[in-house]
Structure 1
Amino acid sequence: MDLDFYKKQALQKQKEHKKFLDGLKKKPPKNLDYQVLETHEETFEEIDCLSCANCCKTTGPLYIEKDIERISKHLRMRQADFEAKFLRVDEDNDKVLQDLPCFFLNDDNTCSIYDVRPKACREYPHTDRKKIYQINNLTIKNTLICPATYVFVEKLRKALEK
């Protein structure tokens, strides 16, 4: 996967993408949620996250208490030990990874805690959510990190222009 190519494309089209997504917010099409889900599914038939894993290498998810509970139990660790070993509190007072790439990312881009991964990881890149226009800024930001998000926005634009 050519991450530089996708990032350059996303940077070049940021203003266009923002205008498109803002337009969805102003006047959402009636079938938007359906179209978003269909476009999400099409995109991920085309793009394999395991060929990239850029999100796991460059951005850390937010860890909520339920995540910490579930993962530390899975790893047979005390929650306090898990937090001390892997997490830190950021400037927004959120619990995030101490270091990147993610400690749980394997050499083949699989996740060693996939079945119990954080909610933020399960939902990323958020291209299958209802009322997608509520996260326009996040979607634009994600186009720079995740090639699938860039492809998703491009496909959604084409689908809605028909």
Structure 2
Amino acid sequence: MAKKDWRRLLHFRCTGCGNCCRETVVCLTDEDVRRIEQGTGKPAREFARFFPEEEVSMDKRDNFWIRFANRRAVMALRWRRNHCYFLGPDNRCTIYEHRPVTCREYPFNTTLSKTGAVERVYLSRAAKCLHDWDGRVTRKALRAVLRWNERQSEAYAAKVKTWNGRLFGRKSRPAFLRYLGFGGDSE
């Protein structure tokens, strides 16, 4: 999309089709899990799932891959009946105020300049997004959520790296949740 053309994306409006909650695996950070636990009262083991490599289309070198005793996986929102665990019957997110930062950023992919200004925006193609063009998205909001996601992801990636470098101790999914400060028992 040409430099001028991306500005039209600032008129994006979500129509609530729910496709992004059906067609994507939403990776979680420990901050996402903590926010969801606090907002819903549900333990991590109820909504977090560890997806193995064969179930996720993600770069093999991504720093969200967690090494367990038997294989690698990423921590993501659990699915139920082919959609996100938290997608309601009305196609609305039932944890909207507590949703993962990745969901807050979607469907935008934003690039910032060296000065921190929004330089480029394009829509993700991870899911077929049935949007309208009568909304209002600010550059400030795009920049804020992108930076939030970057900070949160970097902190989580550092924890995953430390976990992956451990030579001793149980390398199970429940142990990983405990390592992050949550109760265990997740698949």
Q: 1:49 aligns with which of 7, 10, 15?
A: 15
| Structure 1 residue 49: Cα displacement | 2.4
Partner of 2:181: none
Structure 2 residue identity aligned to 1:85: E
Partner of 2:46: 85
Structure 2 residue identity aligned to 1:96: A
Structure 1 residue identity aligned to 2:50: V
Q: 2:33 aligns with which of 68, 73, 77?
A: 68
1:146 aligns with 2:110: no
Separation in 2 of the partners of 1:121 and 1:105? 12
Question: Which structure's residues are more often strand, by fraction?
Answer: 2
Structure 2 residue identity aligned to 1:59: T
| Structure 1 residue 110: Cα displacement | 1.4
The two structures, once aligned, show a CA RMSD in angstroms of: 2.8
Distance 1:57 1:97, change over 3 A: same
Partner of 1:103: 85
| Structure 1 residue 121: Cα displacement | 0.5
SS of residue matched to 2:35: helix
Separation in 2 of the partners of 1:49 and 1:96? 24
8 Å CA contact retained: 1:74, 1:116: yes
Q: Which moved more, 1:88-97 or 1:103-112?
A: 88-97
Post-superposition CA distance 1:23-82 (Å, at most 9, x none): x5xxxx4xx5xx53x4123232xxx422x11011221211111110111011224xxx32
Separation in 1 of the partners of 2:105 and 2:91? 17
Distance 1:132 1:95, change over 3 A: farther
TM-score by length of 1: 0.53
Structure 1 residue identity aligned to 2:31: K
Structure 1 residue identity aligned to 2:11: E
Partner of 2:105: 123
Q: Which moved more, 1:90-99 or 1:108-117?
A: 90-99
Separation in 1 of the partners of 2:98 and 2:84? 14
Q: Which moved more, 1:100-109 or 1:110-119?
A: 100-109
SS of residue matched to 1:85: helix
Q: Which moved more, 1:100-109 or 1:64-73?
A: 100-109
Separation in 1 of the partners of 2:35 and 2:78? 19
Equivalent residue pairs, number: 106
Any gaps of 5 or more consecutive residues in structure 2?
A: 54-64, 67-73, 112-117, 134-187
Q: 4+ residue stretches of structure 1 with deviation over 6 A?
A: none
Separation in 2 of the partners of 1:111 and 1:98? 14
